[in-house]
Structure 1
Amino acid sequence: MSNTWQGAAELALALDPPSHDAAAELARGIALLREVAVGARPPTLRLYRPSPTLAFGQRDARLPGFAEAAAASTRHGFVPLVRRAGGRAAAYHRGCLVVDHIEPAPDAVLGTRARFAAFGDFFAGVLSDVGLDARVGEVPGEYCPGEYSVHGRSGGTPAVKLVGTAQRVVAGAWLFSSVIVVEDSVPLRAVLADVYSALGLEWQPSTAGAAEDLAPGVTVAVVEAALLKAYGAVVGFGEARPTNLP
């Protein structure tokens, strides 16, 4: 497999330990992006299992039901945050794997759409490697809809969203952030149902699932190992170390 995103030949690998500060986890990605942009850090691949978080989009925060949606999120044990990237509300927790891929670029905006397509194919391939029927494309009625979402199917069951992706660019670098939903989909559906109801947004709860729902036995550890193997086929890795959450 070639380097599908046509970027760095080597990535510093940052494996963050679990934390209990959802806001710091989210902010750290932006801090790393700015460090890479000014050359203070090499191209970086950061992996972590997130605290329970309800990440709202900027448009969500302007809706009349936002305060009610944030309160619903808190009741379910998910910290409500407004992310700087686009999209709609998305929920994730320790049963998910967040992948932040950060690289310098003289024109970070250039290639934005191509990166969505390339990373969508890449993550679909990773999930296929662990036994899922994973494909790229928006699922009708999915939460936080996106043209390059990765979804999965099992037999005749409805498709479920398994990977959501977003990008953030600054002068000199880009961040491609992906959330892979692997385990424990029940609390995710529950919080999303109340949040989307409060926001007045239509969606189909059946689109919220996890990899283990389609392929029992798949765990976050299994997916992480497959992801690193797939990355290792196209890039070299620097030292694996935590990124020291502030």
Structure 2
Amino acid sequence: MRVVRGRRDTLAADRDASRRLLSIAADGGEPAVRVWTPHRQVAFGRRDACLERYDHAREAARGRGFSPLERDVGGRAVAYDGTTTLAFARAEPIADIRAGTTERYERATADLERALDTLGLEPTRGEPDDSFCPGTHSLSVVDASTGGRRRRKIVGIAQRVRRGAALVAGVVLVANREELAGVLEPVYDALGVPLEPASIGTIADAGGPADPAKVRTVIEDALVGDATAVSLEGVGDGDERCH
């Protein structure tokens, strides 16, 4: 198992670091895991890019200080604040691109559930109506700040498959809910896609830690699992580097 840590100094270089996970798995036959804090951005899905008002949505992101880009996996737009929002990815070698999709989603979901439980939360599968990046593989929690009255999405999971490797990846919202909602609401409004800002949650608002470094370590451990031969590789700056 290869564990990649850190963040490269530009958006483009950092994307290449994640794409390389697929090459590690496909060419070398070695699973690879990365959990990191991406640069400040709104990452749009391919379906977003097909919409008539996509350019307006990109401008809405830019106007709030978030760089817009189009990502390789996933559905609708996701925001990363550059400091607390985490991304995760696990690549593994595969023999048949037609097999194993459901099983990979199930393993990743179970691993993220275990990580959130370790952090003191009680995650449930699924998401509230009109959530950001709506999909069938999401985790939500009851938000402590609402007195237990509201369930909010904090994890989204997607998958990409190519010849020789599959990548299960996603987003984890750790803190800074107000700013994330503040950019996603106008972005989704510009796209003409329903979004209920109150459905956006964070680990911190649900009563967990607000420290992304602590959350990153717990998620990385869960994704690595019981692998015994683990090699570490640092790719850039920050506290996430190999140490």
- Structure 1 segment 1-246 matched on structure 2, within 5 A: 11-16=1-6, 18-39=7-28, 42-93=30-81, 94-153=83-142, 154=144, 155-215=147-207, 217-231=209-223, 233-243=225-235
CA deviation map 1:161-207 (0-9, x unaligned): 11111111110001111211102122110110010010011111011
105-114 or 72-81, which deviates more: 105-114
Q: CA deviation at 1:243?
A: 3.4
CA drift at 1:53: 1.5
Deviation string, structure 1 residues 130-180 (Cα, Å, up to 9, x no partner): 111211113211111111101111342311111111111110001111211
CA distance in 2 between counterparts of 1:30 and 1:58 reads 17
Q: Secondary structure at the match of 2:204?
A: helix
Across the aligned residues of Structure 1 and Structure 2, the Cα RMSD in angstroms comes to: 2.0
CA contact (8 A) 2:141 2:152 kept: yes
Q: Kindly state the Cα deviation for residue 220 of structure 1 after the two structures are TM-superposed.
A: 1.1
Closer/same/farther in 2, CA of residues 232 and 42 from structure 1, 3 Å limit: closer
User: Within 1, Cα distance between the matches of 2:35 and 2:222?
Assistant: 14
Moved more, 134-143 or 19-28: 19-28
Q: Is contact 1:15-1:46 (8 Å) kept?
A: yes
Q: Residue 231 of structure 1: CA displacement?
A: 4.2
* C-alpha distance in structure 1 between counterparts of 2:207 and 2:189, whole Å: 29
Structure-2-length-normalised TM-score: 0.88
For structure 1, which segment, 26-35 or 49-58, has the greater mean C-alpha deviation from structure 2 after superposition? 26-35
Which has the larger displacement, 190-199 or 124-133? 124-133
Number of residue pairs matched by the alignment: 233
Alignment check: 8 A CA contact 1:95 1:184 kept: yes
Task: Verify the 8 A CA contact 2:9 2:236 in the aligned structure 1.
Answer: no
- Which residue type is aligned with residue 55 of structure 1? A
One-letter amino acid matched to 1:161? K
CA–CA distance in structure 1, aligned partners of residues 236 and 148 of structure 2: 44
Comparing 86-95 with 70-79, which one deviates more in the overlay?
Answer: 86-95
Matches of 1:214 and 1:227, distance apart in 2: 17
Give secondary structure in 2 for the equivalent of 1:115: helix
Alpha carbons of structure 1 residues 233 and 168: separation in structure 2 relative to 1, 3 Å: closer
Q: Does the residue aligned with 1:64 lie in a helix, a strand or coil?
A: coil
Deviation at 1:232, TM superposition (A): 5.3
CA distance in 2, matches of 1:228, 1:29: 15
Counterpart amino acid of residue 84 in structure 1: D
Letter in 2 for 1:22: L
Tell me by how many angstroms 1:128 deviates: 1.3
Report what 2:240 is aligned to: none
TM-score by length of 1: 0.87
Cα offset, 1:91, TM superposition: 0.9
